A and B are shown apart, each in its own frame.
Chain A
Amino acid sequence: MNLIAADKLADLAAALAAAGYRVVAPVRDEEGAVHLKVWSAGDAIDTATIPANSAKEFLFPPSEVIGRYALDGRDFTPQEVRADPPRTVLLAVRPCDVAGLAILDAVFNWDYRDALYNARREATTIVALVCPASDAECFCTSVGGAPDSTRGADLVLQSADGGRRFVFSPVTEKGAAILKAAGSTLAEGEARLDPPASVPERFDAAAVAEWLGANFESPLWQEWGLACLGCGACTHVCPTCHCFDLQDEATRREAVRLRNWDSCALALFTAHAGGHNPRPTQTERWRQRVMHKFRYFPERFGIFACTGCGRCGRLCPAAVTMGEACRQIAEAASLLRRSSRSGCEGRKADTP
Chain B
Amino acid sequence: MTETENLYQPTILRVASDRLEAPEVRSLHLEFVEESDRVRFFAAYRVGMFGLWGVPGAGESALCIASPPTRSAYVECTFRRTGRVTAALADREVGQTLTLRGPYGQPFPLETWRGRSLVFVAGGIGLPPLRSVLWNVLDRRPEFAEVTLLYGARTAADLIYKEELAQWAERRDMRLVTTVDPGGQLPDWTGRVGLVPTVLEALAPAAAGAVALVCGPPIMIKFTLPVLTKLGFAPADIYTTLENRMKCGVGHCGRCNVGSKFVCRDGPVFSLEQLRAMETADL
A-to-B contact residues, CB < 8 Å: 66-67, 69, 71, 74-76, 78, 81, 83, 107-108, 110-116, 118-119, 216-217, 242-250, 255, 257, 259, 262, 264, 269-274, 276, 278-279, 284, 288, 291-292, 295-296, 299-300
Contacts and interface: CB of A to CB of B under 8 A. Distances in A.
Interface string B1-39: 101111111101000000000000000000000000000
A66 B250 CA distance: 15
Contact of B9 (A67, A74, A262, A264): A67
Nearest to B96: A75
Contacts of B82: 273-274
Contacts of B99: 78
Contact of A246 (B1, B59, B243, B256): B59
A71 B56 contact: yes
Contact of A244 (B61, B243, B244, B254): B254
A115 B4 CA distance: 6
B260 interface: yes
Nearest to A76: B56
A295 B252 CA distance: 17
Q: Which of B12, B248, B281 has the most CB of A within 10 A?
A: B248
B57 A112 contact: no
Interface in B146-174: none
A248 B250 contact: no
12 contacts: A74-B96, A76-B56, A110-B251, A112-B250, A112-B252, A113-B3, A115-B7, A257-B54, A274-B82, A278-B258, A291-B260, A296-B257
A71 B251 CA distance: 30
A78 B9 contact: yes
Given A76-B56, A273-B83, A296-B260, 5 more contacts: A69-B56, A245-B247, A269-B255, A270-B256, A288-B257
Interface of B: 1, 3-10, 12, 54, 56-61, 82-83, 86, 96-97, 99, 218, 243-245, 247-248, 250-260, 265, 279, 281-283
Residue of B60, B253, B256 with most chain A CB atoms under a 10 A cut-off: B253
Most buried by A among B57, B256, B258: B57
B144 to A, nearest CB: 31
The 9 closest A-B pairs by CB, nearest first: A250-B57, A243-B254, A69-B56, A255-B57, A255-B56, A273-B83, A296-B260, A112-B250, A66-B8
Given A244-B248, A255-B56, A67 B255 contact: no
B59 A78 contact: no
Interface centre among A78, A246, A288, A296, by most chain B C-beta atoms within 10 angstroms, is A246
A107 to B, nearest CB: 6
B282 A118 contact: no
A216 B57 contact: no
B259 A216 contact: yes
A262 B256 CA distance: 13
Given A74-B96, A115-B6, A217 B56 contact: no
Contacts of A242: 252, 254
A114 B260 contact: no
Contacts of B7: 112-115
A270 B253 contact: no
Given A243-B253, A262-B253, A278 B6 contact: no
Nearest to A247: B59
Nearest to A107: B252
B257 A71 contact: no
B57 A71 contact: yes
B8 A257 contact: yes
A146 B221 CA distance: 49
B97 A76 contact: yes
Nearest to B8: A66
